[in-house]
Structure 1
Amino acid sequence: MDIQNHYYGHSAVLAAYAGLPRPRHIAGLLQHGWTAVSPVAAHFADFPRVGTDPRRRRLLVWSHGCRGWSPSGEDRETTPVGAPLLYLERLLRQHGWSRSDRLGPVFIPFHGTRLVRVTGEHADLARHVAKVDGPSTVCLHHEDMTDPEITTAWADAGHTLVTAGRRDDPHFLLRIMHLIGNASRVSSNRLSTAVLYAAAIGTPAAVWGDPLTFGNQGADAVAELRARWPEFHTDGADGDGTDGSRPETGAAEADAAATALARRELGADHLREPAELRAVLGWGRTPSIGPAVQYYAASPLAKAAMVLGLTKRSEASTRAMSAGSSNPLLWLRHPLAALPRPLPEGLPTPVSTEEPLRGS
């Protein structure tokens, strides 16, 4: 019922797994990324009525086994379905896919959004990555790829630049899977969705290096990530970001522990079989008009009302979304970004990974 349901190719992957030729409108809201706090607050804040009657519209989260939040603490019911990446993994393995190390090390810098930029010394971080891992494949957010200062910093350090594309590209997740599925190690300077993805499919994954600055977030936010999910952090207890190396002793055990944790955070125990998934998403034999009306009319109006202050987010949602600025004028920089578009096309059959887009 909202554009976030189709971010990153998620609905396309779910449709392929469910046996449909292309995505449909989902009867509810689908979590679109891993979050250190409640996805109800972080992703669903603009729609406070969704989930109050889960028989009509559900709040579809990835997992009920996360360290950062508990479904029992929410005022709305949530339904765990597992992360779309894990469904993609199932599809690929059905066709004989397996991991490899042929890309070598992959680094995915923490990125900002249309509204809030990540600031700091990209050049220093790029040189640090080259020192620790050598020349690497660096996957930049598509907006960072258009920033000459950022691309120059990474390219001058000897790295190969790629991007997974725009968030409305149905092949986005295929490109991410190509990267993390062929990397000897995936690293980032902040714990993020990509790190969890890599660990979940068995690729060594780590967080190290300068976390840079994101909006109004301070050092406390980074320290909390390190304290709550120490399995992914290799930069030492003091968090100085200077040590990205992996100790050889106990590395296999550490990787196995990280994989188990990542799969729990992504909801591996909640994955559904195709028929059950279709039912949970509201994908019956024939498409329903209700979710379509919500997608094209009600959802944009609800978002506009929230941005303009005509309706208010809960206090928890305001805290979860306060890394940047609550100034509604910021949204006017990209006034068309939240408008609904035609649904994405389906994925090819059989499903396969896709090469990421190369930088210039």
Structure 2
Amino acid sequence: MVGIRVRAAIGAPFIYLDQLMAAGQMLNHRSSNGTLAFPYHGNERDPVSANHRNLAAQIEERETSSAHICLYSTEWNNHSIRSIYKEKFENVFTLGNRENRFFLQHLYFTLGDYKRAASNRFSTALLYAAHLGLRTEVYGAEARIAGEFDGLGAQGKLTTAFPEIHRREISSDEGMQLAQEELGIKFLRAPAELAEILGLSSLAGRFQAGKAMGVYAARRATVSVQKR
């Protein structure tokens, strides 16, 4: 109909990546590493304010200094923030910028090395971790996105919508159920159908070749840990 834009839910790209990697048996073992902590991050347009010194102390108290810290590139490039975590934790790293086409692959393989993930705000990183079977939890110093006011109640709405993960660690089974709902696994599309929805039907016949190339690229993709 004129004036009505047709929309179709297709599920999160991370689910498709997981299926692609599973087909290539890319994540068939899990390391003994404990917790990977994701301090909630901002970006170039929407910075986040948080008391990083308090958060680092809370992570150290809860997880011990053996926890690994993954900073987004925005916080990593801020020396004052990065140094706070490096003072307390031996393993502090970044996966770079999400505009890198291999960013999700880097995150996927990194999560495969841990049993648990935590953050100080409900985020997609925790949903991805839960989807892969990690135990997850939200705790620590509040993070607020620029322009977000108390009156909007954004953090309160997240706590109300997802109460369990804000009160305690949730198990692998609980987390996987939550992730399936929030990442839209019920909307997952077959390759030909997805290509049609995205207007790429002429490329559908190349899926198998693309699939093989994707697995090959993922094998070669390594996590770039920036050190300064």
Does 1:349 find its partner at 2:216? yes
Distance (whole Å) between structure 2 residues aligned to residue 231 and residue 262 of structure 1: 13
Q: What is residue 151 of structure 1 aligned with on the other side?
A: 82
What are the Cα deviations for residues 89-132 of structure 1, in whole angstroms up to 9, with x where unaligned? Answer: 11111122235143321011111121232223212211211121
Give the secondary-structure state (helix, strand or coil) at the position aligned to 2:43: coil
Q: 237, 255, 275: which is aligned to 2:172?
A: 255
Q: What is residue 195 of structure 2 aligned with on the other side?
A: 278
Does 1:79 find its partner at 2:31? no
Give the secondary-structure state (helix, strand or coil) at the position aligned to 1:349: helix
Q: What is residue 100 of structure 1 aligned with on the other side?
A: 30
Check whether the contact 1:231–1:258 (CA below 8 A) recurs between aligned residues. no
Check whether the contact 1:126–1:157 (CA below 8 A) recurs between aligned residues. yes
Q: 219, 229, 235: which is aligned to 2:162?
A: 229
Q: CA RMSD in A?
A: 2.3
Q: What is residue 57 of structure 2 aligned with on the other side?
A: 127
Give the secondary-structure state (helix, strand or coil) at the position aligned to 1:80: coil
What are the Cα deviations for residues 313-353 of structure 1, in whole angstroms up to 9, with x where unaligned? Answer: xxxxxxxxxxxxxxxxxxxxxxxxxxxxxxxxx74526448
The structure with the largest alpha-carbon Rg is 1
Q: 128, 138, 143: which is aligned to 1:197?
A: 128
Gaps of 5+ in 2: 205-212
Distance (whole Å) between structure 1 residues aligned to residue 132 and residue 193 of structure 2: 23
| 1:1-360 equivalence runs, <5 A | 52-54=4-6, 78-96=7-25, 97-135=27-65, 136-219=67-150, 220-234=153-167, 246=169, 254-285=171-202, 347=214, 349=216, 351-352=218-219, 354-360=221-227
Q: Give the CA deviation at 1:274.
A: 1.4
Distance (whole Å) between structure 2 residues aligned to residue 270 and residue 123 of structure 1: 40
Gaps of 5+ in 1: 1-50, 55-77, 236-245, 288-345
Give the secondary-structure state (helix, strand or coil) at the position aligned to 1:143: helix
Q: Give the CA deviation at 1:162.
A: 1.7
- Residue type of the alignment partner of 2:192: A
What are the Cα deviations for residues 148-206 of structure 1, in whole angstroms up to 9, with x where unaligned? Answer: 11100110012412222222211100111112222110111000110111111211111
Q: TM-score, normalised by structure 1?
A: 0.55
Identity level (%): 26
Check whether the contact 1:92–1:352 (CA below 8 A) recurs between aligned residues. no
Check whether the contact 2:117–2:126 (CA below 8 A) recurs between aligned residues. yes
Check whether the contact 2:20–2:215 (CA below 8 A) recurs between aligned residues. no
Count of residues in Structure 1 that have an aligned counterpart in Structure 2: 213
